[in-house]
Amino acid sequence: MRKTLMAAGASAAIGLAANTLAPAKPAFAEDQLKVTSFGGAYQAALRKAYFEPFTKATGIKITEDEYNGENAKIRAMVQSNTVSWDVVDAWPVWVPILCDEGIIERIDWKKLELDPTKFLGGDMYDCGVPSVTTATVIAYDKDKLPNGPKTIADFFDTKRFPGKRGLAKSAYYKLEWALIADGVAVKDVYKVLNTAEGVDRAFKKLDTIKKDIIWFDTNAQAPQLLADGQVVMVQALNGRIYDAVKNSGKHFEIMWDTQAREFGVWTILKGSPHRDAAYKFIAFASSPQVQANLTHYIPYGPANKDAIALVDPTILPHLPNAPDHTNAWTVDSAFWNTKGEELRQRFTAWLAK
């Protein structure tokens, strides 16, 4: 978690972006930037909404790279003084860790001319700027469950909704959902989970559906399990379900109740040879209109709160942070960094029983 909420100018996010939108000019050696993200449909969306427009506006050429969210390569680059990545689309859980280690830059919000209070998660990271909001949700097939689940408690109700449930094989999300289904208020989940009694309570709730769970390992398996009829409900990324509906004609439905929200986070590597260009890019990619444009390519919500009003009304209902998707919780990276190993070991032992 951010230890101190940086003071920031009240300038709107568009401020610096507007200043950097000079007519395109020939790219010199210093007018380049390497940006690394997660590949696939998401990076293709970033390319269309962020990378190409930024280069056109500023003349700064972006070279792309891809990774799987691991931080070992980032740490090795910085420690060996061989930094070749400038901006990294970070996995939020490790941002506070690398921040404390001095591997990534502390963000100067004044230099960005951005107000962190305008951003969902803006108070969570000393060394990052939230870029998008993603959601892990429960989804179901409307053809098989026309009166599908409405709350996370329904996911645990095998009498009203008999059949197998699909869950990713990890403690992540499951313990929080189990507690909420057992009556814990969303705002109190991590307070309860931070106690031995709370952990016992979560596993006891998971016991009630253990025999009805099909475990999977990759995000791509979730919609496939649903499509094949192997499960009646499944944990999935909202973007995967949206894609299955839009591009494969599936009649899947997302249950937005108690969605687990996480953020994409822009970070700058310590020792980046193009630090100024990195700040220009993050400022550009954080402006309301640019973030709203991303939603045309992928259904992830803008982190800049001012961007929501600019989103196409036909797209808005598919975003995690649509105004009516209110009963959500944000994954607490600091909690999982502190308690994660202990809970993962407990989860592995529970699976083996």
3-class state of residue 103 by DSSP: coil
Q: How far apart (Å, rounded) are the C-alpha atoms in residues 193 and 351?
A: 19
Do residues 328 and 177 make contact, with C-beta atoms less than 8 angstroms apart? Answer: no
Six-digit token pair at 193?
Answer: 């989970």
Six-digit token pair at 69?
Answer: 């969210």
**Cα radius of gyration rounded to whole Å, the chain:** 21
Model pLDDT for residues 189-228, shown as the tens digit of each residue: 999 999 999 999 999 999 999 999 999 998 889 999 999 9
Model pLDDT for residues 122-147, shown as the tens digit of each residue: 998 999 999 999 999 999 999 999 99
Q: How far apart (Å, rounded) are the C-alpha atoms in residues 231 and 177?
A: 18
271: exposed, middle or buried (Cβ count in 10 Å: 0-12, 13-18, 19+): middle
Amino acid in the structure at residue 3: K
Do residues 107 and 128 make contact, with C-beta atoms less than 8 angstroms apart? Answer: yes
The pTM of the full predicted model, rounded to 2 decimals, is: 0.82
Do residues 124 and 331 make contact, with C-beta atoms less than 8 angstroms apart? Answer: no
Which residue is associated with the tokens 């310590």?
270
3-class state of residue 68 by DSSP: coil
Per-residue pLDDT of the chain (353 residues; tens, 9 = 90+): 444 333 333 333 334 444 444 444 444 445 899 999 998 889 999 999 999 999 999 999 999 999 988 899 999 999 999 999 999 999 898 999 999 999 999 999 999 999 999 999 999 899 999 999 999 999 999 999 999 999 999 999 999 999 999 999 999 999 999 999 999 999 999 999 999 999 999 999 999 999 999 999 988 899 999 999 999 999 999 999 998 998 899 999 999 999 999 999 999 999 999 999 999 999 999 999 999 999 999 999 999 999 999 999 999 999 999 999 989 999 998 899 999 999 999 999 999 99
Query: Closest by alpha carbon to 152, among 236, 242, 259?
Result: 259
Do residues 78 and 271 make contact, with C-beta atoms less than 8 angstroms apart? Answer: yes
CB-based contacts of 21-27 (< 8 A; 24+ apart in sequence): 21/57, 21/58, 21/284, 22/57, 22/58, 22/59, 24/55, 24/56, 24/57, 24/58, 24/59, 25/59, 26/59, 27/59, 27/60, 27/61
Q: Could you give the count of Cα atoms lying within 13 Å of 215 in the half-sphere of its Cβ?
A: 13
Which residues have a Cβ under 8 Å from the Cβ of 160 and sit 6 or more positions away?
A: 154
DSSP 147: T
CB-based contacts of 305-314 (< 8 A; 24+ apart in sequence): 305/118, 305/119, 305/120, 306/12, 306/13, 306/118
Do residues 199 and 345 make contact, with C-beta atoms less than 8 angstroms apart? Answer: no
| Residue 171, number of CB atoms within 10 A of its CB | 24
All domains of the chain, ordered by start, with CATH?
14-133+262-318 (3.40.190.10), 136-261+327-352 (3.40.190.10)
Do residues 20 and 58 make contact, with C-beta atoms less than 8 angstroms apart? Answer: yes
The beta strands (E) that lie in 233-337 are given as 233-237, 252-268, 301-302, 328-330
- Tell me the DSSP string of 225-254: HHHTTS-SEEEEEHHHHHHHHHHH---EEE
